Structure 1
Amino acid sequence: MKALWKAFSTVAVVGVANTLIHWQLFYVLVTAAQLSQAASNLAAFCVAALFSFYVHALYTFEDGASVRCYLVYVCFMGAMSFVVGHFADVWKLHGWVTVGSFSLLSLICGMFFSRLILFKEQE
């Protein structure tokens, strides 16, 4: 039970840090660099995903992940981040809607993807 609580708390802390990194970089890219929401969301996701992958590989999951699995994860979630940003650009949605909706999708899809594919236990 103690190991489960440690894993949960680590995932929660890394998730909050990941979200902060993603949201801050998104707003810098949209406002200061004047990039589209699609490009900003993709770039912010890539930076935050790299951070999370590294920290989770070190502290959360006992089995390491292969580079191939990581690239599949980044491509899948990156495409999703770009699509969410693209629809926000087309529909002229506020940035809060973009990062909020992607964060929710990322939480759900990322958890399943990381547990089932990226860091699945070796048999």
Structure 2
Amino acid sequence: MVIHFAKYFSIGIINTLIHWIIFANIIYITNTPQSYANLIAFIAAITFSFFSNAKFTFKKKATSGRYLAFLVFMGILSYLTGFVADKINAAPIITLVAFSAISLILGFLYSKFIVFKGIE
């Protein structure tokens, strides 16, 4: 499990950079609410993350069903993080850091035990 987490984490670094850059551009250029900006940035970065983790971390076939399961779960998590941030008037950097931490842990567990279950 440690090796899978290390691989997931390394792919997550690139995914996080993609997410953060898009999120920042949306927030500071268009003044879009954080909930929507976080969701849009997430959707853009999730495709890279899903296919990379399917191939390199979990060595499983990247099917549309798995992609949809991962996208929906993580998308809800992304939106809720932004929604809470909007409600408490959190700074965008807090939203990014919080979502990155939450999605690292919950995303890995969800991927390992639900989306790509059955790995050793």
Question: TM (normalized to structure 2)?
Answer: 0.87
Matches within 5 A, 1:8-23: 9-23=6-20
* Structure number, greater radius of gyration: 1
Partner of 1:57: 54
**Partner letter of residue 71 of structure 2?**
V
* Residue in 1 that maps onto 2:64: 67
Distance 1:77 1:24 in 2: 18
2:34 match: 37
**Counterpart in the other structure of 2:95:** 98
Q: Which amino acid aligns with 2:116?
A: F
Q: What TM-score do the two structures reach when normalised by structure 1?
A: 0.85
Deviations 1:20-58 (A, max 9, x none): 111111101101122110001001111111111111222
Return 5+ residue gaps in structure 1 as ranges: none
CA contact (8 A) 1:81 1:102 kept: yes
Q: Which 4+ runs in 1 deviate beyond 4 A? A: 4-9
Find the aligned partners of 1:28 and 1:119 in 2 and give their Cα distance: 32
How far off its partner does 1:60 sit?
Answer: 2.2
Q: Percent identity?
A: 35
Gaps of 5+ in 2: none
SS of residue paired to 1:92: coil
RMSD of Structure 2 on Structure 1 (CA): 1.9
